[in-house]
Amino acid sequence: MAKTTIIRSSFPSPEDVLQVKLANGITVLARSNFNSPSISMGGYLPAGAIFESDEKLGLADFVASSLMRGTQRRSFDAIYNELESTGASMGFDSGVYNVSFGGRALVEDLPLLLKLLAESLQTPTFPKDEIERLRAQLLTGLALRAQDTADMADMLFEKMLYGNHPYSRPSDGTVETIRAITRKDMEKFHRLHFGPRGMVIAIVGGIHPKKAVEAVEHALGGWQVSGQAEAPLLPPLKPVRKAMKRHHPIAGKSQSDLIVGVLAPKRKDPDYMAASLGNSVLGQFGMMGRIGDVVREKSGLAYYAYSSLNTGIGPGSWEVAAGVNPANLKKALGLIETELRRFVKHGVTRDELADSQANYIGRLPLSLESNSGVVSALLNIHRYDLGMDYYQRYEGMVRSVTRANVLEVARKYIDPDRLVIATSGP
């Protein structure tokens, strides 16, 4: 097949990405794109779910969702009116480790975007009426989650795979914990965990990198928080010693969802690229890879069927997911287990690996076409300590993976006799 080559000079590199650490601990990553009249901004700070207690699950997410509901200077309506009047946007999200944020604006409106970001991070007021409105929305979301077979299979899978580790806890909480969270809890969480230390912000667009850094310095350089809490050390993750299978029943459903999986490497592990390319063959490339071909296309047993490799700072998951008619659940599980055994025994073919490598290399420029795509790339490089020359090395890393590498990694992580299997449905 034809060999795909990428032009590295257009990718983020140490030569065109300015990285500056402000005196208060904020790291700024900036890159210009003068073909664009706008900028994209994104970032994160360490205030995620790992700081929660079991009694306050969902607190980090609740706080993150409340940051733009009112500040000391602006009401909820005033914040969104300012954004809408300039065609800008901004929002917050939360995860296990971090609260993340993102936004877009015209270049001339970057100061406004950063001013609203600074206010939301530093001086949220958690207005009582807005908090109760948001609480009602969160509780509605949890009620919907309880009736969603895919969501409940996923929650059950993580509980089985991670045991008592913090990774097993739902970051959006439970009905009981969301009801129990008070404004004082939110104010205390904000006071202890929101601060400049460990914060990262990336800005990409039609602005000189030094000007972008100066804008961040002006808006956030004076932010100081004494006693900002350190992230707790996570306990070691215990490996799965035996096969586990559990079902979460939801009456009246016409579909069952299943997840079959194992622990996966960390994002920075040397095994990552071989595992990622192997996963592409297993259940991503084309019509959802081998899994999709066997379970959905040839057997007609699933509405969807694919595999995914979920990696991060800590051990992730390598899992196969499918949605099936409840009558076909057992048969679909059997086909998936058979395909995993084949994958571990024989690995991938030369053509399968070559196709996936060409796909990885060919699609990379597309992922970096937009300012927001480059922002995401810069944040991932920094978060996982991949090196700012990552994209200069990327093609070589992809091409260096061999069939033997994929087979070795598959056998290292996937034990067909120790699979974690979670299902949900009637």
Report the predicted TM-score, pTM, of the whole model to 2 decimal places: 0.92
Report all structural domains of the chain as residue ranges with CATH numbers, in order of start. 12-220 (3.30.830.10), 244-425 (3.30.830.10)
| Residue 426, pLDDT score | 95
| Residue 51, pLDDT score | 94
| Residue 368, pLDDT score | 95
| Residue 3, pLDDT score | 54
Question: How many Å apart are CA 395 and CA 137, to the nearest integer?
Answer: 45
Question: How many Å apart are CA 337 and CA 332, to the nearest integer?
Answer: 9
Burial of 303 (0-12, 13-18, 19+ CB in 10 A): exposed
| Residue 229, pLDDT score | 87
| Residue 297, pLDDT score | 85
- For residues 166-198, one letter each, b for 16 or more C-beta atoms within 10 angstroms of the residue's C-beta and e for the rest, the string is bbebbbbbbeebbeebeeebbeebbeebbbbeb
Which residues of the chain are under the pLDDT cut of 70?
Answer: 1-9
| Residue 14, pLDDT score | 95
Question: How many Å apart are CA 379 and CA 312, to the nearest integer?
Answer: 13
